[in-house]
Amino acid sequence: MLVLAASAPLFEQGCTPKPAAPESCSAAPRTLEPLVVDWRAGDLARFQELAKQGVVVVHADGCSLRPLPQCRAVGTYGYIGVAPSNDTTALDDDLRDFAPGASERIAALGRQGTMRLQRTIIGQWVATQKTTSPIQLQGDCAMATHVVHRVWVGAYDFASGQRSLAMRGTASACVAEPDAKAPPGGCDAWMKVELAPLAARPSPGDACDASMQGCVDSSRALLCASGKLSLVPCQGADGCRVGATGAVCDDTVATPGQPCAPAGKETYACTKDGADALVCRDGSFGTWRHCRGPKRCSLAKGSVDCDTSVGAVGDPCEGSAGVACSANRSMLLRCDGGKLVKSSACRGPGGCALDQATFEVSCDRTRERVGDPCDQPDGVACSDDGRAQLACRGGIYAEQRACPKGCSIADGKLRCGS
């Protein structure tokens, strides 16, 4: 449990945070920009460790401020540096500028009269996510109320009377560095944090941008498509998950007509039975290819592989070089105008076959029928009954001569017995 108060340790292993609810607690924290200069060094160090993993999620009310280590949020922190600025502030007796529990923590430090904070500010850590809603959280997040949106850093001396209660860094170390990705060493102490309340839970149809996307649950996402949030199933093995860079919906398994939201490019999926490959266009999945080959539609390293070595007349295809075998292996099909059409009958004993090593389709054309289409002028073949020699003329096979003693082809040579 992480409680910034003297009554409990900051991180107690195996303990689920519970909100303090005495009658004196207000529903909301007294300030959304609490000072943290009175926190123990170990507390701050552990809090900073959480911030390295991503945006810190907390439960905050009028009595306590509890980071939730098991709750993850979209976003990370980026550093914004400024020219060093110095100020000294006298702090009110009601401690309204501090996080809850300050009176106990400051008493333990040994307060002696009026308190003052002398500080040098060098920059801020700011969350990349402008707002965070419940669908952008994942993990044990039932107690989440706010996220830490901003942290002011630099060096400070927190004093009371003639005594320094807490000192972190030195003003001399606070030297501005153009385009710095982090504050300079010795000037990186946390002084104040800014809490941002969780935004309202969005609904399908709400106007959106990509920063609003998230997971409704482990198998559904709200994704931004054409300026509106759309409820999208995430049927792939990884479901829907929230990471520092945003919500990730595994929609590599889908159904035709299912809504989708491509990230600026066409995305692909397999149907659950592996029979078809789908493509996401205009906000929904549609059939891209029928995967009739033995390997069907499969997923490998996040990409879709569709076995189109077996096809049917009318199947969608792409490219004039595309070929496939019919399901009964008797016909070679070719791609013409985006659809498979009949190319040649494969009546020889080898039929239409796929080489499993090279994935090349071959067609045994050693036997044909009169009227079968052909694409090799003056090409010859035996009739399927073996009684005649055929020749390719005008795009179809015609009988060239009879072979009473049989027609056969061996080693690429046709023999006609007369």
SS3 category, 48: helix
Residue 12: helix, strand or coil by DSSP? Answer: coil
Q: How confident is the model at residue 344, as a pLDDT?
A: 81
DSSP code of residue 134: G
Structure tokens at 133: 């809603």
Alpha-carbon distance of 114 to 80, in angstroms, equals 33
What sign results for the dihedral spanned by CA atoms 167, 107, 111, 152? Answer: positive
CATH code for the domain defined by 366-418: 2.30.130
Among 5-14, 113-122, 237-246, the minimum mean pLDDT is found in 5-14
Predicted local distance difference test score (pLDDT) of residue 23: 41
Q: Is the pLDDT of residue 48 over 60?
A: yes
- If we measure between CA atoms, which residue out of 82, 14, 10 comes closest to residue 50? 10
More confident residue, 15 or 164: 164
The pLDDT value recorded for residue 301 is 72
Residue 158 has pLDDT above 90, yes or no: yes
pLDDT exceeds cutoff 70 at 24: no
pLDDT at residue 374, as a whole number: 80
Q: Which residues pair with 39 in a beta bridge?
A: none
Q: Show Cβ contacts of residue 207 under 8 Å, excluding neighbours closer than 6 positions.
A: 227, 228
Q: What is the DSSP letter of 32?
A: S
Beta bridge partners of 71: 139
- The SS3 assignment for 322 reads coil
Beta-carbon count within 10 A of 203 CB: 11
pLDDT of residue 264: 56
265 pLDDT more than 70: no
Q: Which of 125, 124, 130, 144 is nearest to 246 (CA)?
A: 130
Query: CATH number of the domain at 308-361, out of 2.60.40, 1.10.530, 2.30.130, 3.40.462?
Result: 2.30.130
Give 22's pLDDT tier (boundaries 50, 70, 90): very low
Between CA 353 and CA 290 the distance in angstroms is 18
**What ranges do the domains of the chain cover?**
41-197, 210-297, 308-361, 366-418
Fold agreement (308-361, 366-418): yes
pLDDT tens, residue by residue, 302-346 = 688 999 999 999 999 987 668 899 999 989 999 998 999 988 888
What is the SS3 assignment for 52? helix
On the 0-12 / 13-18 / 19+ scale of CB atoms within 10 A, 52 is: exposed
